[in-house]
Amino acid sequence: MHPDPRACLRRSISLGVLGLGTLLLAACAGQTSQQTTGDAAPPNFLPGEVVTQQGRLSADLYPIIFVIAVAVFLLVEGLIIYIAFRYRRRPTDRDLPTQTHGNNMLEIAWTIIPAVIVTGLFVLAMSVLFQIEARAADPDVEVDVTGFQWQWTFDYPEEDLSFTGAGVDGPEMVLPVGETVRIRLQAQDVIHSFYVPQFFFKRDVVPGRVNEFEVLVERPGTFGGQCAEFCGLAHSDMFFTVRAVPRAEYDTWVAAEQERANATPPPPASGPPPPSGGPPPSGGAPPAGTVVETATTPDAPLAFTQTALQVTAGASVTANYLNDSNLPHNIAFFQGPDPSAPRIAATEVMPGPGNQQSISFTAPSEPGSYYFHCDVHAQQMIGTFEVTP
Amino acid sequence: MATTAIPRRVAYPTARSRVYEWLTTTDHKKIGILYMTTAFTFFLLGGVMALLVRTELAVPGLQFVPQELYNQLFSMHAVTMIFLFVMPMFVGMGNYIVPIQVGAADMAFPRINALSYWMIPLGGASIMAAFAFGGSPIGWTMYAPLSATEPARGVDLLLMGLVLLGTSSILGAINFLATIFKLRAPGMTLMRMPMFVWVTLVTSVLLLFALPVLTSGLIMLFIDRNYGGGFFDPALGGNPILWQHVFWFFGHPEVYILILPAFGIVSEILPVFSRKPLFGYRAFVLATASIGALGFTVWAHHMFTTGAVYLPFFSFFTFLIAVPTGIKFFNWLATMWGGQLRFDTPMLYAVGFISLFLIGGLDGAFLAVVPFDFMVQDTYWVVSHIHYVLVAGSVFAIFAGIFYWFPKFFGALLNERLGKLQFWLLFIGTNVAFFPQHLLGLDGMIRRIADYAPNAGWTELNFLSTIGAFLIAASIVVFLWNLFITMRGPREAGDDPWDANTLEWATTSPPPPYNFEVLPPVRSERPLFDLKHGAVTAHGVARPAARGETHGEMREDAPEERLGEPVEGHEDQQGEPRGPAAEVSAEAPDATPVAGRGEPDVAQAQTEDRAKPTKPEEHS
């Protein structure tokens, strides 16, 4: 049956209102965010607060593009709605409508006008880009950022400081307010991305390449950052923070950190018990229960001290792992030469220092070379355990 | 004129096993249906993956899937939807419709056509098998070095599957180009082809140039993974950025491959349901060609944040590509303007497409602004953009095409009430699912994360987005029900249920094995319209335009067609004067003369024509 046009219209309007209402609900839920991380305001149609000079210039472009986009949106949607109602087929329509094939003047108009608009936007965007990409002759602070799976290291070459993050919070980069900071980005393994939303900026961290950018933070505060390029298993957890403080406080902080770095005694020679590697080399019938040990020390926080372990086929093994570093680690054993094999056993990922883990499992019955690694740092922390007959 | 309907029991003989017929067919119509059915199955699989992703993201905390599986799911969702759903679906529709629209009996290379199809389930099986081997948790973009070092064997299965699919696409592209260039009906010049054929032509050129680049990249990645290669490994002198260049040089034309057929479908539907010709046919052709060409110049706009590309060039061309797209928009609106619009389901989807693809397109304009891209690259802003252009764009157009051509494929119209219900569910669901993601991206929520902080303020919008995803799922359930009841019902759609313009509606539903008994004359881009409304006779005679009428698209340089009078200087090869062959009328006994030489009363013939019912009573 032919649908009643009035009912159709009523239905369309009510559904349209429902749809629009949903959008407005989402928008009204937002307010301009004035807070720093930790207690964020709901998202909004407009960007939140931007705290760097470069970011502010970038964010100031947004309202211009937004207004143009909304204008185009209202124009086109308005035309669609008008056309849908005005030119609906009516029962009185018998003859064909005028079969207009085209109009060259219109074609020229709606080619030229959009071309002018986008060219204008392009010029505007480029002028801002050149400003934010500008490099100072002599930056006040330099920080070298290294990204790796799944943590960050911040090095201050001039102040001789280095911070590597541990756990989900990641490291903290302290910067002086109102001064030019040059940040250099390098990657150890895969592509990451250094993203601070309140800087309105990100730059990729690419192996084999050094990326550089400069920021000038305009107000004190703590700003959250996150890796923004998918980099594997724990990509969601690769956070860091940037804390901007007045210059005086920055100097105090630098001094305190330098003192702390010097005061830390080097690990004593008789420190943690040296890890052993399985049954005694003198051979003979191996004991029924075998103990293997490995560790990670603060000097080499991304390595196992023992990467070659030995067990007997079919024996019940106890693996002891000491994580003495700041980074989250675990140890995971596999039933094959690489991690695509099924997993035999694994400990829980925990940061150190002083974190002793133990896990028991039955060694594979088939002699050969098997694989273990740290789940968090599966590229850097790998080893083999030999299964002897 | 009419083509004698061939009963289904004759067109699909039961003497041979149906299964064997379908497994060995080289008929473009059956291959088209195979493509579309396979593609839709993968759509359902990809949709389930999306629901799993969205369910996990609805609230903070990893409740549902562990990180490892989540990373596999979002990667595979994209691969499935792009390579196993949208591409084969459009190829399937093109396979069925393009040869008929150009008046050919089949594609140029039917057996290669079959081969191209069978590579799809094979490639798809390889890709899906990845889940049993650790999945492929590297994103559909497969950035090196992550993709080169990811130990899961599933990645290699993905690479091999994609190489197979790419080969299928390349073969299909060659087939379409040969068909379009060489097998058109007499009278169908390039500028009289239906717009769907035009977009298929340009899309095939894009496939031909882009897919080999992807295949090369995949092989390089395979070598890096398995044979100690160092294309993308800086330790061996390679460069990870090289992968991105190779991938996106394919990847950007790829997104035009995913949307140009959608533009074509919309351009088919709007004229029929507005009862007006497509406004600015020539402009459309030029705009399509421009989009195709410009599509190869913008690839590095996906790489603005790498610090490794020349930003002004790529930003400028990205802005520029908005212009031909805008031209299409305005021409569509002008097509509807002054028309007599009929909002059957295909038209609802076509208009829905225009209204929502606009949002996706405007998102892209934002992204062309490099400083803004620095903020929202790799955030949910991009996810929102992607899904507006692919769901509100390609998926809407796919459903428009399905509802439009379903009666041609199967002889039955899909249920209108269910179609309208599905449309509104999908329209609302799409907006509820993806509009909030703009705000999330602008607020700094990055993409490809299994979880987010509870105090980030993103919970409400993520929950809303998940509701939208389930609304979309509900709309698909409605569609499946519609499919089920329609296929069980009677097949009474007839040749031309929509009162349409192009050649596929001038034959039976479904068409006989070689598509046409007699080919209608083609003197414009709307051959069936001309036949029905008196601009041509069954004998190919053109009637000059009466006062107040426009026959703008009809060629003036074929004077021998006027009223069938022989014209000096236009004799045929035997030296005989051209004119309607007397024997034509004898061979088409059921051809209905509309108007022609010796028929004085054109207006009367037109009235008679309109009085004939050309479509059945509307289904409710």
Locus of tokens 């850097």:
A380
Answer yes or no: are the C-beta atoms of B505 and B409 closer than 8 Å.
Answer: no
Domain ranges for chain B: 24-488, 521-619
Pick from B242-246, B425-429, B511-515: least confident:
B511-515
Give A221's strand partners. Answer: A244
pLDDT reported for residue B8: 52
Please indicate whether, in this complex, the C-beta atoms of B369 and A65 are within 8 angstroms of each other: yes
User: Does the annotation mark B252 as catalytic?
Assistant: yes
**Chain B contacts of A118, Cβ < 8 Å?**
319-320, 322-323, 365, 368
Which chain A residues are within 8 Å of B235, Cβ to Cβ? 208
Q: Which residue has the higher pLDDT, B124 or A348?
A: B124
Q: Which of A368-377, B190-199, B305-314, B353-362 has the lowest mean pLDDT?
A: A368-377
Give the residue from chain B lying closest to A207, CA to CA.
B234
AA identity, residue B537:
T
User: Rounded to an integer, what distance in angstroms lies between the CA atom of residue B199 and that of residue A148?
Assistant: 45
Q: Which residues of B touch A59 (CB under 8 A)?
A: 375
Q: Is residue B22 flagged as an active site residue?
A: no
> Out of A101, A200, A211, whose CB is closest to B307?
A211
Distance CA A303, CA A292 (A): 16
State residue B407's pLDDT score. 97
Given the structure tokens 């602008």, which residue do they identify? B442
Q: Which residues of A touch B334 (CB under 8 A)?
A: 100, 103, 106
C-alpha pair distances (Å), B380 with each of A195, B295, B437, B449: 14, 23, 5, 10
CB neighbour burial string for B57-73, b if at least 16 within 10 angstroms, e if fewer: bbbeeeeebebbebbbb
A206 lies within 8 A of chain B by CB: yes
Q: Across the interface, which of A43, A121, A379 has its CB nearest the CB of B149?
A: A379
Alpha-carbon span A147 to B569, nearest angstrom: 79
Q: Six-digit token pair at A78?
A: 């308005």
**Pairing verdict, β A382-388 and A308-312:** parallel
Note whether A228 contacts B377, CB cutoff 8 Å.
Answer: yes
Residue A289: phi, psi to the nearest 5? -105, 130
B428 vs B64: which has the higher pLDDT: B428
Bridge partners (DSSP) listed for residue A243: A174, A222
Q: Which of A104, A110, A119 to mutate to test the interface with B (most CBs of B within 10 A)?
A: A110
Catalytic residue (one of B150, B254, B373, B496): B254
The reported pTM is 0.80
The sign of the dihedral angle between the CA atoms of A19, B338, B394, B315 is negative
The two beta strands, A289-296 and A316-323, are parallel
Write the residue in B238, B333, B444 that is nearest to A197 by C-beta: B444
Pair B522, B186: CB distance under 8 Å: yes
Going by C-alpha positions, the residue among B609, B598, B526, B611 that lies closest to residue B564 is B598
B572-582 in b/e burial notation, b at 16+ Cβ within 10 A? Answer: eeeeeebbbee
**pLDDT value at B583 more than 50:** no
A82–B contact, CB cutoff 8 A: no
Catalytic residue among B30, B54, B328, B523: B328
Those of residues 347-386 in A touching chain B at CB distance below 8 A are 378-379
Is B267 catalytic? The answer is yes
CB A205 within 8 A of CB A186: yes
Backbone conformation region of residue A42, classed left if phi is above 0, alpha if psi is from -120 to 50, else beta: beta
State residue A170's pLDDT score.
85
> Is B156 assigned a catalytic role?
no
Give me the total of CB pairs closer than 8 Å, taking one residue from chain A and one from chain B: 309
Interface test with B, best of A24, A80, A131 (most B CBs within 10 A): A80
The verdict on a CB contact (< 8 Å) between A119 and B455 is no
**How much is the pLDDT for A298?**
79
Is the pLDDT reported for residue B470 higher than 60?
A: yes
Type and span of the H or E element at B413? none
Average pLDDT score over residue span B262-269: 98
User: Which range has the worst mean pLDDT, A282-286, B179-183, B479-483?
Assistant: A282-286
pLDDT at A53: 96
Element (H, E) at B335: helix B322-336
Tokens 């990509």 sit at which residue? A235
Can you tell me the mean pLDDT for B569-573?
60
Going by C-alpha positions, the residue among A119, A79, A87, A82 that lies closest to residue B331 is: A79
CB contact under 8 A, A15 and B428: yes
Asked whether the predicted pLDDT for residue B550 surpasses 70, the reply is: no
Among B331, B341, B424, select the one facing A87 at the smallest CB separation.
B341
In this predicted structure, the answer to whether residue B591 has a pLDDT above a threshold of 50 is no
Please give the Cα distance from B424 to B404 (Å, whole number). Answer: 17
Q: Average pLDDT, whole number, for chain B? A: 88
pLDDT in tens, chain A (389 residues): 444 555 555 555 555 555 555 555 444 444 333 333 445 677 889 999 999 999 999 999 999 999 999 999 999 999 999 999 999 999 998 889 999 999 999 999 999 999 999 999 999 999 999 999 999 889 999 999 999 888 899 999 999 998 887 667 789 999 999 999 999 999 988 999 999 999 999 999 999 999 999 999 999 999 999 999 999 988 998 999 999 999 999 999 999 999 988 876 544 443 333 344 434 444 444 445 788 889 998 777 788 999 999 999 988 999 999 998 867 788 999 999 888 888 888 887 777 778 898 999 999 999 999 999 887 777 678 899 899 98
Please determine, looking at this structure, whether the domain spanning B24-488 carries the CATH number 1.20.210.10: yes
Q: Residue A369: beta bridge partners?
A: A386
DSSP secondary structure of A64-105: HHHHHHHHHHHHHHHHHHHHHHHTB--TT--SPPP-----HH
Q: Can you tell me which residue has the tokens 């392009």?
A: A122
The beta strands (E) that lie in chain A are given as 141-148, 151-156, 161-164, 172-176, 180-187, 192-196, 201-205, 211-216, 221-227, 239-245, 289-296, 308-312, 316-323, 328-329, 332-334, 343-346, 350-351, 355-362, 368-373, 382-388
Contact predicate A353/A323, CB 8 Å: yes
Determine, for residues A230 and B448 on separate chains, whether the beta-carbon distance falls below 8 Å.
yes
Pairwise CA distance, residues B425 & B410, whole Å = 25
Q: Which two tokens stand for residue B552?
A: 């703008």
B613 pLDDT more than 90: no
Q: Residue A118's Cα: distance from chain center in Å?
A: 32
**Is residue A136 within 8 Å of A214, Cβ to Cβ?**
yes
pLDDT at B285: 97
B116 is catalytic: no
Q: Which residue of B has its CA nearest to A85?
A: B341
B378, B382, B452: best to mutate for the A interface, most A CBs within 10 A: B378
Residue B315 tokens, joined: 């930003």
Alpha helices for B337-369 (secondary structure H)? 345-368
Q: Of these residues, B3, B80, B126, B169, which one is catalytic?
A: B169
Q: What is the pLDDT of residue A6?
A: 58
A189 touches B at CB < 8 Å: yes
Mark whether B344 is an active-site residue: no
Q: Do A201 and B374 touch (CB under 8 A)?
A: yes
Residue B561 has pLDDT above 60, yes or no: no
Active site residue B408: no
Give A259→chain B minimum CA distance, Å.
34
Q: For this structure, is B18 an active site residue?
A: no
For residue A63, say if its preceding peptide bond is cis, omega within 30 degrees of 0. no
Of B240, B337, B427, the CB nearest to A83: B337
ipTM of the shown complex? 0.84
pLDDT at B568: 56
Half-sphere exposure at residue B343, Cβ-oriented, CA atoms within 13 angstroms: 22
Q: Give the residue on A whose Cα is nearest the Cα of B235.
A: A208
Q: Which of A247, A146, A142, A241 is nearest to A197 (CA)?
A: A241
CB contact under 8 A, B146 and A83: no
Does A30 reach chain B within 8 Å, measured CB to CB? yes
The shortest C-alpha distance from B543 to chain A (Å) reads: 16
Residues in chain A within 8 Å Cβ distance of B67: 233-234, 236
Residue B157 has pLDDT above 90, yes or no: yes
Is the separation of the CB atoms in B450 and B70 below 8 Å? yes
Chain A residues within 8 A of B462 when measuring between CB atoms = none
HEC profile for A158-223?
CCCEEEECCCCCCCEEEEECCCEEEEEEEECCCCEEEEEHHHCEEEEECCCCCEEEEEEECCCEEE
pLDDT at B134 over 50: yes
B301 is catalytic: yes
- How close A133 comes to chain B (CA, Å)? 10
Count CA atoms within 13 Å of residue B20 on its CB side: 5
Angle between helices B281-294 and B322-336 (to 10 degrees): 160
Candidates B277, B334, B371; nearest CB to A129:
B371
Which residues in A lie closer than 8 A to residue B276 (C-beta atoms)?
Answer: 97-100
CA dihedral B447, B451, B455, B461 (to 10 degrees): 60
CB B240 within 8 A of CB A191: yes
Higher-pLDDT residue of B146, A284: B146
CB contact under 8 A, A99 and B443: no
Whether B243 is a known active-site residue: answer no
- Which of B319, B327, B365 lies nearest to residue A69, judging by beta carbons? B365
Question: Residues of B with CB below 8 A from A129's CB?
Answer: 311-312, 370-371
A21 to chain B: nearest residue by CA?
B432
For residue B515, name the pLDDT band (cuts at 50, 70, 90). very high
pLDDT at residue B291, rounded to an integer: 97
3-state secondary structure of A362: strand
pLDDT at A26: 47
Tokens of A378: 């599966």
